[in-house]
Amino acid sequence: MFDFLKTLFSPGPSLGIQIENSKIKIVQSQIGSRGIEVHSAISEPLSKEHDIFQRIRDIIEREKLIKDEIIGCVSSRQVCIREIELPIGNIKKVEKIIKYQVEPYIPYSVEEMVVDFIPSKNNRYFTFSLSKEELGRYLEGLKEAGIEPRIITIDDISIFYLYNLIYGNSSEGATVLVHLREDAMSVEIISGGELSFIRVIPYPEDGLNTLIESINLFKLRYPELSVSEILICGDIEENDPLLNSILEDSPFQSSIWRPFDAIYHNLGELDPFSQARLTVPLSLSILSGVHKVKIPDFRKEEFTLEPMVNVWVKRLRPIIYIFIAVLFLYAVGINYKLFLYEREYESVNQEIKRFFKESFPQIGHIIKGRELEQVKQKIAELTDRYKGVVGVKNEYKILSVLLKISNVMRELSDTEVENLIIEERSIRIDGYGGSFESIDRLERMLKDMKEFGTVKLVSAKIDPKKKMVRFSFAMKKEE
């Protein structure tokens, strides 16, 4: 039950979109009961003739992707990244002052930038500043294509959250994420679930030495931490010289990052290079399901989107319809059960009335709704009347016996009772039957009654006047 509710109210599918110089990459996923679940993954080339944003729209329509929750990104090369120290640990307070705290560290007017941040170790913060002009052009292009991203973050930072979501703090040492692109190499170092180091380098001639240099810079700041492995992602090919030099010559354990192997998807067998290329859009698509951590988002100030409540209203609308339908069916079921109970109640009352009239014909008026009480009252009166007979009240329930005898006689339509004599421990019945067969049947039925120890047919002879068989039975109580 709780798993169902958890799934029901978990975030819906999210679309992660990454635009590069020569490729568009899109992944649709959601965080469900099985963790990360990938529904679609597309990587398509771009040429100068293509309208990038219209191409994205065409892909979304062609693949029938759900675009309720879209997350886009800018390249870390477009962002001014700085690490600053503040004597404040409260994230909300830092949120209010960070823009002006970072101003001395960037070569632009802070009013022309959108600034966000994430916390690092020891009251240190990584800040990210993006030109409002660049962000405006990016959002305008998407909007013209009918696409409205809810979050705009940074490609390199998103893969940090993907790593944490999949692996958590399972690594004993620090993990180095190397993101290779056409125009740059990014180095991120994660330790204890926190981003401890980030460096974006225009594609260097000697990439391996630059990577090792970056790791050494990290060690200078955190000498107590050691590097356990290097994971490589991004636009890489099998014959990529930088990739091969890292894999073959790095002094650290190095491999191509294969995040799809750790999550659920229906994409079939994905080779390591495809997985590495789709790492960024995958990491973007999971951000809507990441909670309780600060995610850098440039959709603020004049770029703020409509309140999230509107998205939830759209998302919950089908659930509300289902809830109303369930309530309607429940109400119909309750009313139908009530109808059946009322009909059964009326049937029982009619049966009580019939029994009352047959058993107590002298009672003319039966009070509606109090039939059972009237029956109990009459039985009590008759019980009191016969309580002088030894054993009637406590040992021999005479009214119950008489009722059973009456039911037996009713089944024999050609048989009638003339006399019924109740004695201390016996009952005598005299009457007429239509035939000897009827008398025999009556005898068997009386013998089947458990209240009598013996049933004896005293006499049975034809009455010439009535042309019926006159009988007499004597029954004694069972000892």
CB 28 within 8 A of CB 13: yes
Beta pairing partners, 74: 154
CB 19 within 8 A of CB 52: yes
Distance CA 211, CA 204 (A): 10
CATH architecture of 397-477: 2-Layer Sandwich (3.30)
Give the burial class of 138: count Cβ atoms within 10 A of its Cβ; 0-12 exposed, 13-18 middle, 19 or more buried.
buried
Q: CB count, 10 Å around CB of 19?
A: 22
Distance CA 295, CA 163 (A): 14
Distance CA 429, CA 474 (A): 7
Q: Which pTM value belongs to this model?
A: 0.64
* CATH, range 2-305: 3.30.420.380
CA distances from 26 to 35, 59, 68, 318, 440 (A): 19, 9, 14, 26, 93
pLDDT at 127: 95
Range(s) within the chain of domains with CATH label 3.30.420.380: 2-305
In this predicted model, what pLDDT tens digit does every residue of 377-418 receive, in sequence order?
777 776 666 554 444 444 446 777 778 888 888 788 788 888
pLDDT at 152: 95
Buried b (16+ CB within 10 A) or exposed e, 278-309: bbbbbbbbbbbbbeeeebbbbbeeebebeeee
Strands 468-477 and 452-463, by their bridges, are antiparallel
pLDDT at 2: 45
pLDDT at 10: 57
Range(s) within the chain of domains with CATH label 3.30.1360.100: 397-477
pLDDT at 386: 57
Identity at 98, one-letter amino acid code: I
CB 73 within 8 A of CB 15: no
pLDDT at 299: 93
Two tokens, residue 206: 């000697």
CB 27 within 8 A of CB 281: yes
pLDDT at 140: 92
CB 376 within 8 A of CB 356: no
Residues of the chain with pLDDT under 70: 1-11, 49, 204, 306-315, 356, 358-372, 382-397, 478-479
